[in-house]
Chain A
Amino acid sequence: MTLALVLQYVVAGLTYGTIYAVVGVGFNIVYSATGIINFAQGEFVMLGGMTAVTLSAFLPLPVAIALAVLVTMAVGGLVEVAFIRWLHRPSVLRMIVITIGVSLVIREVALHLWGQQVRALPYFTGDEVSALDVGGARVSPQVLWSLGTCLLIVVALWYFFQRTALGRQMRACAQGREAAALCGVPTRNLVTLSFALSAGIGALAGCVVSPITYTSYGIGSGLAIKGFTVAVLGGLGNSFAAVGAGFVVGLLEALSVSLFPAAYKDVVSVGLLLAILFLRPAGLFGSRERARLEGA
């Protein structure tokens, strides 16, 4: 393998890594606030991409994407209000089944709205064939858009969680819901916000990568598994470690394509998930969730 070829795989890995990272961060935001693994996380990516494609038919691209993100955030918030908020101390099993149900309902609605067709947004700059030359590898400008957006999301989230009052309240809520509530933090609304936030970043990522990876009604469950692998690899509840883990999974997957048939691409990430769960359930980077994790 030449250096240029390796570089080409790395670029592909980073592109997919972006979306895995963002889905992984989304899992973590909701998990930190609620202890719930939201199986509908991948559906938000699909919903964002599909809505933006539809809106872009009659709106300028940036407006269409902004609206799609807002719509998906609203759906995320609604999901929490309609299906989760009013349940009293639901069991883990019940929460899993409910979020799986939600993901399927979203998926079926998308199937009936948009059909089975594969769609994509236009390239933000240039077109399918325009490429930059980086060390012999050809890099689409859209890859830079994806990486840039991922970076932007991470920085914005960091700022939000560390520097704003609302973000601090959310962190307080994640550390101890009762204690936060006693301090006057509106924990219930923050849980809704956590769903909307994770939906929003998923939707944004879904829009940005759609020119390269395409989007269709059924991509959600696959993304959910990858995103979950990423979240566990980084350490569940450890938001920013998920970004690094996302790129690790993306790179491993891209390199695996050069070794095995493409059909076995998913085997790599699921094998990785099982291996992590077996060897290091607290994740590569560790997490304070360890006690909660192994409390079963």
Chain B
Amino acid sequence: MRRRWLRLAGLVAAVVAVHLAAGWAGKPFYLTQLTMAGYYTLVAVGLSLLMGFAGQISMAHAAFFAIGGYVTAVLTTLDLSAGRGRGLAGLLERAGLLVAFRDAAGAGQLALHPWPAAVVAVALAAAVAVAIGVPVLRLKGHYLAMATLGFGTIVIAALVGTERLGAADGLTGVPPFPLAGGLVIGGGRDGRVANYYVAWGLVAAAMWLLGNLVESRVGRALRAIHGAEDAAASMGVDVGRYKLATFVISAALAALGGVGLTHLTGGIGPGEASVMKSVRYVAVVAVGGMGSLWGTLATSALLTFLSLRGTFGTYDDAVFAAILLVVMLFSPDGVLRADLRGAARALWARGRPRPDAEAP
């Protein structure tokens, strides 16, 4: 418990230190990419929970991210002024859930406030996760991987094939997200520092919640499942339900990341849903260590930032694929827990039976 508070304090200190360092180095624009990295990190830590604690892999977290982004983009730009005072629009207006704004052409518009839009976006992603998870999570590992891979390709095909969603160009003109007390997600360069703190504040909140979860009764059940599924089941742990809950929570976090990034940048494109994006999240989790939320946080911030800066050039995807492969071959528990001597021995022995067999 105390350790977690220390780590959270460390995270806050690191976030502040990076802010100061970026300002001191005269590169405040780094904060923009770090803000984006924050929203991608939300996806990664959720996936880390799923992979590390439920032993399942999702190839659709980019799709959940895109669901979050697209739903909020559609809802907050959908002009309801035609239905003013009547029906559902009137009801929403009386409830104070609508905001008036001017679109790019200067025309007055009335649309859903980002708060209810975000709630709908995250809830929808969670519902989709339930629909996929219920049939698949009773079965062994590769089924969720394949089903989510299939789901990811459906989402991207639907996004590219739907004119209303901007087809290959995606959606733009998404308004900023006024949170509370003058804090806003989005809104250009003036809000750079505020945006940075909002994004990483969200990450810190997610870490706190996930930390609570992992240390609770649920977390103990998840750890038992991770250790030995059959044993956990025989102790009365409802394995399927916990796996489903983990999957849904991580999908919801991914959607939240999508909501944040979409309001930050004012738009979203179908590229965010691509299978390669999903694989990047998996790679980040693999490097950081499955189930190691803090390791995932660190590697996600670093790798995503480097990738957004364009460090890897045209080999961007290849770098992530190679990292994924190398880590899973030589250090499946993440680079922080690398057992290089063991891996070298295994390579040397070419798979001859070893007495110190790793758990299946």
Question: CB within 8 Å of B: which residues of A?
Answer: 37, 39, 83, 85-94, 96-98, 100-102, 104-105, 107-109, 112, 188, 221-222, 224-225, 228-229, 261-267, 269-270, 273-275, 277-278, 281, 293-296
**Which of B131-139, B199-207, B210-218 forms part of the interface with chain A?**
B131-139
Q: Are B142 and A105 in contact (CB under 8 A)?
A: no
Q: Which of B327-357 contact A (CB under 8 A)?
A: 328-329, 332, 346-347, 349-351, 353-354, 357
Picked from B135, B161, B325, B347, the residue with its CB within 8 Å of the CB of A278 is: B135
Complex formed: what's the CA distance from A225 to B162 in Å? Answer: 22
Q: Are A263 and B151 in contact (CB under 8 A)?
A: no
Q: Are B153 and A274 in contact (CB under 8 A)?
A: no
Complex formed: what's the CA distance from A85 to B351 in Å? Answer: 7
Within the complex, what minimum Cβ distance (angstroms) separates A122 from chain B?
29
**Which of B18-26, B99-107, B314-322 forms part of the interface with chain A?**
B314-322
Q: Are B328 and A94 in contact (CB under 8 A)?
A: yes
Contact A105 to B322, CB < 8 A, known contacts A261-B161, A267-B154, A296-B139: yes
Within the complex, what minimum Cβ distance (angstroms) separates A77 from chain B?
15
Q: Is B324 an interface residue (CB 8 A)?
A: yes
B353 proximity list for chain A (CB < 8 A): 88
Contact A225 to B161, CB < 8 A, known contacts A86-B346, A89-B358, A94-B332: no
Q: Is B308 an interface residue (CB 8 A)?
A: no
Q: Are B153 and A270 in contact (CB under 8 A)?
A: yes
Q: Are B150 and A92 in contact (CB under 8 A)?
A: no
Most buried by B among A97, A261, A269: A97
Within the complex, what minimum Cβ distance (angstroms) separates B277 from chain A?
12
A277 proximity list for chain B (CB < 8 A): 135-136, 139, 143, 147
Q: Are A263 and B141 in contact (CB under 8 A)?
A: no
Most buried by B among A89, A108, A229, A267: A108
Q: Are A274 and B132 in contact (CB under 8 A)?
A: yes
Within the complex, what minimum Cβ distance (angstroms) separates A129 from chain B?
29
B322 proximity list for chain A (CB < 8 A): 101, 105
Picked from B59, B150, B154, B161, the residue with its CB within 8 Å of the CB of A100 is: B59
A221 proximity list for chain B (CB < 8 A): 149, 153, 275
Within the complex, what minimum Cβ distance (angstroms) separates B63 from chain A?
12
Q: List 9 A-B contacts (CB under 8 A).
A: A93-B51, A101-B328, A105-B318, A105-B325, A108-B315, A266-B153, A266-B154, A278-B134, A278-B135
Q: Are B158 and A263 in contact (CB under 8 A)?
A: yes
A85 proximity list for chain B (CB < 8 A): 350-351
Q: Are A104 and B276 in contact (CB under 8 A)?
A: yes
Q: Are A91 and B360 in contact (CB under 8 A)?
A: yes
Complex formed: what's the CA distance from A112 to B317 in Å? Answer: 11
Q: Are A39 and B145 in contact (CB under 8 A)?
A: yes
Within the complex, what minimum Cβ distance (angstroms) separates A117 from chain B?
16
Complex formed: what's the CA distance from A222 to B138 in Å? Answer: 24
Q: Are A225 and B146 in contact (CB under 8 A)?
A: yes
How many residue-residue contacts, CB under 8 A, span A and B? 156
Contact A270 to B51, CB < 8 A, known contacts A94-B332, A263-B158, A277-B143: no
B138-174 CB contact bits vs A (8 Å, 1 = yes)?
1111110111011101100110111000000000000
Q: Is B288 an interface residue (CB 8 A)?
A: no
Most buried by A among B51, B150, B322, B357: B150
Within the complex, what minimum Cβ distance (angstroms) separates A191 from chain B?
10
Question: CB within 8 Å of A: which residues of B?
Answer: 51, 55-57, 59, 132, 134-136, 138-143, 145-147, 149-151, 153-154, 157-158, 160-162, 229, 275-276, 279, 282, 286, 290, 314-315, 317-318, 320-322, 324-325, 328-329, 332, 346-347, 349-351, 353-354, 357-360
Q: Are A87 and B351 in contact (CB under 8 A)?
A: yes
Residue of A nearest to B285 (CB): A97
B290 proximity list for chain A (CB < 8 A): 93
Q: Are A270 and B145 in contact (CB under 8 A)?
A: no
Picked from B56, B145, B146, B321, the residue with its CB within 8 Å of the CB of A101 is: B321
Within the complex, what minimum Cβ distance (angstroms) separates B300 from chain A?
16
Within the complex, what minimum Cβ distance (angstroms) separates B359 from chain A?
8
Complex formed: what's the CA distance from A100 to B354 in Å? Answer: 26
A224 proximity list for chain B (CB < 8 A): 146, 149
A39 proximity list for chain B (CB < 8 A): 145-146, 149
Within the complex, what minimum Cβ distance (angstroms) separates A160 from chain B?
26
Residue of A nearest to B332 (CB): A94
Within the complex, what minimum Cβ distance (angstroms) separates A172 from chain B?
20
Within the complex, what minimum Cβ distance (angstroms) separates B67 from chain A?
15
Q: Are B325 and A98 in contact (CB under 8 A)?
A: yes
Contact A228 to B146, CB < 8 A, known contacts A85-B351, A87-B329: yes
Additional A-B contact list (5), CB under 8 Å, known A98-B329, A100-B279, A294-B139 = A83-B325, A87-B346, A91-B360, A104-B320, A105-B318
Q: Are A104 and B279 in contact (CB under 8 A)?
A: yes
Q: Are B358 and A274 in contact (CB under 8 A)?
A: no
